[in-house]
């Protein structure tokens, strides 16, 4: 009897230990990451990221955090991007799929094709006690951030999106778009009513900042920073003394959201400028945007290294824009030897000091040959325009159906002859995009999936309350 009793008691102890370990493990598995940092480089696929890696490695002797840390140390996935009504998506439909796990039509934000609101990852994060923020180089009301924090049938409804942000009590908003928060009587306003959304936010206790200095000095955990009436300038044109980059906004966001005994947070950090540069076929600005975006990714990676058991970092594109690719060419239109690209071709792509958007402003409408020659000689030395490209710049008449951002696409096409980096289009393409993940739950993003699956996984991870520090 004693032996049987001893065996019984030992078995009970073993079972208790087993169940304890099981439930501890289950609890740890069920808990979600405390900190979720989602970085979007709008309009980028693997082609753009590889160009960024090559530039950092061969021109600056620097690692490229996206590929050398996030992709290499974490999990890498590919996302298909078609929308509910087209094989090629826009940012509204792509953002909605990745924010909510639901397909919608191009142009619609945070709703189904029928116009019904669907809950986003940001809203789930807020419900589970995390702080939430949106950061972008575009207007904060633009399609991608709006997909995470608003529900409208058209991405063009910026004033309504801004109102929804105020009602939602987001902890942090950084970017452009001041015009949509000001009453119609205020200078620069794009509203058609007298609602003063900035005053409403200040009444709720938000700190409001308008430049880089104020952003660096701001206190508190409720902050709105609007640094332009519309989108922020492209990197090549940005006033570095007053307008923050995506790197500087990321640095501020991580500090603000994690201060004062933070309960955890979800933050979307988007550079839209990579998309704009690609639409313009502006390889020089694209490489500048990728470099500063990668510095922002490095901040997120360092945050993960400081909190490895509590953090999930995601780096993703929403769709490809432009389809850029470096290739070999013939020596001339008459043929000759095959010329393969070298580091020098890549170096040429970084030597121009202004964006193609800025070039458009300098040229003005219907510029003369003299004006074109002056701008090209001063800002794009060595670039030769073909007769077709020159005519497009002078008249604004299309020379191809898929290159209709003029004069930018025409100048960008001429630059391609020097860099041997060519563009398939000025628009979005059907190419799958990447997601790199590192940290808690990262393995779930590995593999080939639809962008809606990305959204569903993200929501599942955020549906669990933040895990306690282990």
Per-residue pLDDT tens over the stretch 300-309: 999 999 999 9
Report CA torsion sign: 444, 446, 448, 454.
positive
Q: Is 341 helix (H, G, I), strand (E, B) or coil?
A: coil
Q: Which of 403, 385, 383 is nearest to 278 (CA)?
A: 403
pLDDT score, position 470: 47
Q: Is 132 exposed, middle or buried (0-12, 13-18, 19+ CB in 10 A)?
A: buried
pLDDT at 299: 99
Q: Count of CB atoms within 10 A of residue 249's CB?
A: 27
Q: How far apart are CA 255 and CA 338, in angstroms?
A: 52
d(CA 47, CA 286): 12
Q: How confident is the model at residue 21, as a pLDDT? A: 38
Q: Which helix (H) or strand (E) holds 300?
A: helix 283-306
pLDDT digits (tens, 9 = 90+) for 207-235: 999 999 999 999 999 999 999 999 999 99
Residue 393 scores a pLDDT above 70 = yes
Does residue 415 surpass a pLDDT of 60? yes
Mode of pairing for the β-strands spanning 223-226 and 172-176: parallel
Q: What is the CA radius of gyration of the chain?
A: 25
- CATH code at 33-323+428-463: 3.40.720.10
Checking if the pLDDT of 352 tops 90, the result is: yes
The per-residue DSSP string of 364-378 comes to -SS--HHHHHHHHHH
pLDDT for the residue 19: 36
Q: How far apart are CA 41 and CA 106, in angstroms?
A: 19
Greater pLDDT, 274 or 13: 274
Look at residue 30 in the predicted model and tell me its pLDDT. Answer: 57
Strand partners, 111: 117
Q: Which two tokens stand for residue 470?
A: 């282990």
pLDDT of residue 16: 39
| Helical residues (DSSP H) of 134-232, grouped into ranges | 143-149, 158-168, 197-203, 212-217
Mean pLDDT of 121-132: 98
- Structure confidence at residue 31 (pLDDT): 78
pLDDT class for 467, splitting at 50, 70, 90? confident
User: Average of pLDDT values for 341-361?
Assistant: 97
Question: Which residues, in sequence order, are bridge partners of residue 315?
Answer: 39, 436
Q: What is the pLDDT of residue 23?
A: 36
pLDDT in tens, 75-125: 999 999 999 999 999 999 999 999 999 999 999 999 999 999 999 999 999
SS3 320: coil
Q: Say how far apart CA 37 and CA 267 lie, in whole Å.
A: 5
The CATH 3.40.720.10 portion of the chain extends over: 33-323+428-463
Q: Given the DSSP bridges, would you call strands 207-209 and 223-226 parallel, antiparallel or unpaired?
A: parallel
Could you tell me the end-to-end alpha-carbon distance of the chain, in angstroms, rounded to an integer?
Answer: 43
Strands ordered across the beta sheet of 207-209: 207-209, 223-226, 172-176, 131-139, 265-271, 35-41, 311-316, 433-439, 75-80, 447-450
Helix, strand, coil content of the chain in percent (nearest 5): 45, 15, 40
pLDDT at residue 264 greater than cutoff 80: yes
User: Which pLDDT tens digit goes with each residue over 15-42?
Assistant: 334 434 333 333 344 579 999 999 999 9
Give me the pLDDT at residue 468, please: 60
Q: How many H-runs (helices) and E-runs (strands) does the chain carry?
A: 19, 14
Residue-wise pLDDT for 292-302, tens only, equals 999 999 999 99
pLDDT at residue 260 is higher than 80: yes
Percent of the chain with pLDDT over 70: 93
pLDDT band at 5 (very low <50, low <70, confident <90, very high): low
Q: Read off the pLDDT band of 469 (50, 70, 90).
A: low
Q: Is the pLDDT of residue 424 over 90?
A: yes
Q: Which two tokens stand for residue 370?
A: 């003299």
Residue 185 pLDDT > 60: yes
Cα angle: 237, vertex 267, 221; to 5 degrees: 95
Of 450, 37, 14, 430, nearest in space to 246 by CA: 37
């Amino acid at each position: 009897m004693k032996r049987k009793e001893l065996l019984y008691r030992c078995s009970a102890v073993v079972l208790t230990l087993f169940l304890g370990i099981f439930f501890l493990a289950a609890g740890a598995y069920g808990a979600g990451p405390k900190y979720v940092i989602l970085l979007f480089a709008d309009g980028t696929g693997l082609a753009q990221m590889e160009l960024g890696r090559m530039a950092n490695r061969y021109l600056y002797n620097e690692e490229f955090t996206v590929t050398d840390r996030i992709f290499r140390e974490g999990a890498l996935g590919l996302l298909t991007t078609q929308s509910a009504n087209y094989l090629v998506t826009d940012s509204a439909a792509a953002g909605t799929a990745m924010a909510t796990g639901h397909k919608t039509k191009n142009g619609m934000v945070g709703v189904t094709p029928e116009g019904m609101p669907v809950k986003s990852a940001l809203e789930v994060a807020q419900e589970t006690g995390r702080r939430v923020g949106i950061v972008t180089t575009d207007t904060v009301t633009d399609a991608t951030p709006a997909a995470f924090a608003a529900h409208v049938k058209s991405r063009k409804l910026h004033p309504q999106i801004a109102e929804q942000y105020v009602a939602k009590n987001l902890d942090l908003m950084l970017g452009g778009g001041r015009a949509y928060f000001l009453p119609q009587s205020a200078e620069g306003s794009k509203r058609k009513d007298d609602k003063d959304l900035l005053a409403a936010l200040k009444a709720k206790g938000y700190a409001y900042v308008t430049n880089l200095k104020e952003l660096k000095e701001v206190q508190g955990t409720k902050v709105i920073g609007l640094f332009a009436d519309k989108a922020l300038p492209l990197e090549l044109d940005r006033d570095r003394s007053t307008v923050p980059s995506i790197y500087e906004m990321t640095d501020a966001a991580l500090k603000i959201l994690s201060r004062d005994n933070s309960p955890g947070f979800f933050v979307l950090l988007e550079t839209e400028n990579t998309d704009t540069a690609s639409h313009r076929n502006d390889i020089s600005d694209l490489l500048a945007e990728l470099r500063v975006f990668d510095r922002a990714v490095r901040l997120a990676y360092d945050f993960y290294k400081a909190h490895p058991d509590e953090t999930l970092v995601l780096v993703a594109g929403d769709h490809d824009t432009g389809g850029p690719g470096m290739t070999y060419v013939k020596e001339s239109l008459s043929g000759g030897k095959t010329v393969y690209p070298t580091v020098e071709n890549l170096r040429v792509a970084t030597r121009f000091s202004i964006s193609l958007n800025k070039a458009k402003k300098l040229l003005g409408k219907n510029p003369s040959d003299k004006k074109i020659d002056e701008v090209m000689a001063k800002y794009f030395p060595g670039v030769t325009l073909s007769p077709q490209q020159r005519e497009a710049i002078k008249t604004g008449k299309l020379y191809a159906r898929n290159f209709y951002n003029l004069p930018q696409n025409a100048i960008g096409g001429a630059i391609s002859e020097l860099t041997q980096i060519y563009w398939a289009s000025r628009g979005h393409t059907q190419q799958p995009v990447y997601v790199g993940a590192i940290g808690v739950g990262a393995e779930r993003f590995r593999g080939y999936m639809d962008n809606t699956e990305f959204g569903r996984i993200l929501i599942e991870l955020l549906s669990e309350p933040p895990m306690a520090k282990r």
